Amino acid sequence: MKILVINCGSSSLKFQLIDSASEEVLCKGLCERIGIDGSVIGYTPAGKDKIVKEVPMPDHNKAIELVIEALTDPETGVVKELSEIDAVGHRIVHGGEAFTKSVIINDEVIKAIEDVSDLAPLHNPANLIGVRACMKAMPGVPMVAVFDTAFHQTMPEEAYLYGVWYGYYEKFRVRRYGFHGTSHAYVSAKAAEILGKPYDSLKTIVCHLGNGASVSAVKEGRCIDTSMGLTPLEGLLMGTRSGDLDPSVVEYIANKEGTDIKNVMNILNKKSGVYGLSGDLSSDFRDLEAGYNKGDAGAIRAVNTFAYRVVKYIGAYAAAMNGVDCICFTAGVGENSPMVRKLVLERLGYLGVTLDEEANSTRGKEICISGPDSRVKALVVPTNEELAIARDTAALVK
Ligand code: ADP
């Protein structure tokens, strides 16, 4: 089957066309600046050079039209006709408690996604715009929703509840949901495959370290805890997000700066994390690593604090699972930063972790980076959320 995978944001739309049998990517691309001046579509058909076109895209309907044009172009296209596309898999950020797995989209599902939109006001409405645009452009083609939160729905109550008045959970569903679930599920299952062990026999900690970052504890194939919460702001330090802090910090900064909660939340989401700690140097670990190696105090402060927080979560999750067999690194930083992986793993001697420095010096590929004597395996497992979405979609529409 040919599956179109769509990840739709408020002004961007990422897409991949994947052959679900061979798992080959037939074309991948990105529409940027949708609804803004200077819209651009860029895409790479398999085996061909990247094509970039500046075309006005006043809305997502136009973006989808251009994606379809790109896929069916007589010269550079990868399918002859639109009818060759069997299904569309959509990344949906928040499924609340309603969705514990991927589902075929119908009116009821759209309504349920709308119902939890106030939990992800920036993401869910944008995701739904993509769903509706595809439905309009490809009537009759089955659409599947794959949720970032679904994998974490197996968390027990003691892990997902906040220590606030229980009525807030009952009335407003205030609880921890977790995100990056598609990645945590894919990477933890892949780790079992790499180790040649049954998925349901392992205790795995997945460190998804990208611009957004989260850690999860996967025990016997089920997520039992994860570091993001009601929203993706909780947990690790991230590119620009603060991660965990005392909620009183919000009120304190608001009072000191003479501003409101909304502004402080914006600072915590957009100007904090390694970006804020580095003294506004960068949110990108390529810049931070370069700064670290040159002795830049801000970069050193940011990278060390980032790594320290990962170490703390690994310790917490080893405790939560009463042990750990495998620690995985994935996403932009996890796959590409030997420095961060080393700063984390060298502090896990108490778990019996040893590091294979040479293996760890590689970037962007699947590899075991723990030493042969390590009691816990440490792996780099490149994530592939698009493939996971395509697999779920193919399985549901079969
Ligand atoms: P997201 O999907 O959350 O936007 P990614 O998983 O793509 O993020 O990760 C992007 C981040 O990965 C970049 O901001 C950068 O910090 C980091 N990164 C990418 N390539 C490298 C590299 N070669 N070395 C170090 N860090 C890298």
Yes or no: is domain 2-147 CATH 3.30.420.40? Answer: yes
Report whether residue 334 contacts ligand 1, using a CB cutoff of 6 Å: no
Q: What percentage of residues in the chain have a pLDDT greater than 70?
A: 100
Report whether residue 232 contacts ligand 1, using a CB cutoff of 6 Å: no
Report whether residue 210 contacts ligand 1, using a CB cutoff of 6 Å: yes
- List CB contacts of 252: < 8 A, sequence separation 6 or more: none
pLDDT at 10: 85
Q: Tens of pLDDT along 207-256?
A: 999 999 999 999 999 999 999 999 999 999 999 999 999 999 999 999 99
* pLDDT exceeds 90 at position 102: yes
pLDDT at 260: 97
Whole-angstrom Cα distance, residue 234 to residue 229? Answer: 5
* pLDDT exceeds 90 at position 395: yes
Q: Tens of pLDDT along 271-286?
A: 999 999 999 999 999 9
The residue to mutate among 284, 293, 306, 383, having the most atoms of ligand 1 within 8 angstroms of its beta carbon, is 284
Mean pLDDT of 344-350: 98
Mean pLDDT of 296-319: 98
Whole-angstrom Cα distance, residue 108 to residue 266? Answer: 33
pLDDT at 283: 96
Q: Give the type of residue at 199.
A: Y
Q: Which atom of ligand 1 is found nearest the CA of 284?
A: 16
pLDDT at 336: 97
* pLDDT exceeds 90 at position 121: no
Q: Tens of pLDDT along 348-379?
A: 999 999 999 999 999 999 999 999 999 999 99
Mean pLDDT of 135-149: 97
138 secondary structure, DSSP code: S
Per-residue confidence band for 176, with pLDDT thresholds at 50, 70 and 90? very high
Domains 2-147 and 197-380 share a fold: yes
Q: Tens of pLDDT along 49-100?
A: 999 999 999 999 999 999 999 999 999 999 999 999 999 999 999 999 999 9
**Which CATH code is given to the segment(s) 197-380?**
3.30.420.40
* pLDDT exceeds 90 at position 267: yes
Q: What percentage of residues in the chain have a pLDDT greater than 90?
A: 97
**What Cα–Cα distance (Å) separates residue 161 from each residue in 86, 134, 351?**
40, 36, 28
Mean pLDDT of 301-316: 98
The residue among 263, 282, 262, 264 whose CA lies nearest residue 273 is 282
Report whether residue 285 contacts ligand 1, using a CB cutoff of 6 Å: yes
The residue among 165, 163, 147 whose CA lies nearest residue 97 is 147
Domain ranges across the chain: 2-147, 197-380
Mean pLDDT of 300-315: 98
Q: Which atom of ligand 1 is found nearest the CA of 208?
A: 6
pLDDT at 39: 95
Task: List, by residue number, the catalytic residues.
Answer: 148
- 362 alpha carbon to ligand 1 midpoint, in Å? 15
At 258, phi and psi to the nearest 5?
60, 40
Contact 93/113 with Cβ under 8 angstroms?
no
- 128 alpha carbon to ligand 1 midpoint, in Å? 26
- 350 alpha carbon to ligand 1 midpoint, in Å? 29
* pLDDT exceeds 90 at position 144: yes
pLDDT at 108: 97
* pLDDT exceeds 90 at position 321: yes
Report whether residue 332 contacts ligand 1, using a CB cutoff of 6 Å: yes
